[in-house]
Amino acid sequence: MSTNKSYHELGINTPEPESAEVLKATRRNSILLIILILIALIIAITGIVYVSTHKDRPHHVPHPHDPFAPSDGSNVADVKRNVIAYYESSKFSEHVFSLVSQWSQHFESVKASNGADALPNAVVFDIDETLLNNYPETKRADFAYDAAGWNKWVLEAKAPVIPGTQSFYNELRTRGIKVIMITGRHEAEREATEKNLATFELTHDELILRSPEEDKLTAAVYKAQRRQALSEKYNIVGCIGDQVSDCVGGYTGYIMKLPNYMYFIE
Ligand SMILES: [Mg+2]
How much distance in Å is there from the Cα of 127 to the middle of ligand 1?
6
Q: Which of 265, 189, 177 is nearest to 222 (CA)?
A: 265
pTM: 0.74
Regions of the chain with pLDDT less than 50: 1-3, 56-64, 67
Three-state SS across 88-140?
HCCHHHHHHHHHHHHHHHHHCCCCCECCCCCCEEEEEECCECCCECCHHHHHH
- 219 CA to centre of ligand 1 in angstroms: 10
pLDDT at 55: 52
111 neighbors 176 (Cβ within 8 angstroms) = yes
pLDDT of res. 68: 53
150 CA to centre of ligand 1 in angstroms:
13
Q: Give the amino acid at 94.
A: E
C-alpha dihedral (18, 19, 20, 24), degrees to nearest 10: -60
Distance CA 26, CA 193 (A): 92
Q: What is the pLDDT of residue 41?
A: 84
Distance 241 CA to ligand 1 centre (A): 6
Neighbour count for residue 219 (Cβ, 10 Å):
21
Calculate how far, in angstroms, residue 176's C-alpha sits from the geometric centre of ligand 1: 24
CA of 136 to the centre of ligand 1 (A): 15
Render pLDDT for 50-109 as a digit per residue (tens, 0 to 9): 556 555 444 444 444 554 555 566 788 888 999 999 999 999 999 999 999 999 999 999
C-alpha torsion sign, points 81, 87, 90, 93: positive
Decide: residue 212, CB within 10 A, 0-12 exposed, 13-18 middle, 19+ buried.
exposed
114 C-alpha to center of ligand 1: Å?
Answer: 29
Distance CA 120, CA 231 (A): 10
pLDDT at 8: 56
Distance from residue 158's CA to the centre of ligand 1 (Å): 16
- How far is the C-alpha of 161 from the C-alpha of 130, rounded, in Å? 9
Give residue 265 CA to ligand 1 midpoint distance, Å: 8
Separation of CA 173 and ligand 1 centre (Å):
21
Three-state secondary structure call for residue 237:
strand
**What is the predicted pLDDT for the residue at 37?**
86
E strand or H helix at 7, and its extent? helix 7-10
Instruction: Print burial letters for 89-110: b (CB count within 10 Å at least 16), e (below 16).
Output: eeebeeebbebbeebeeebeeb
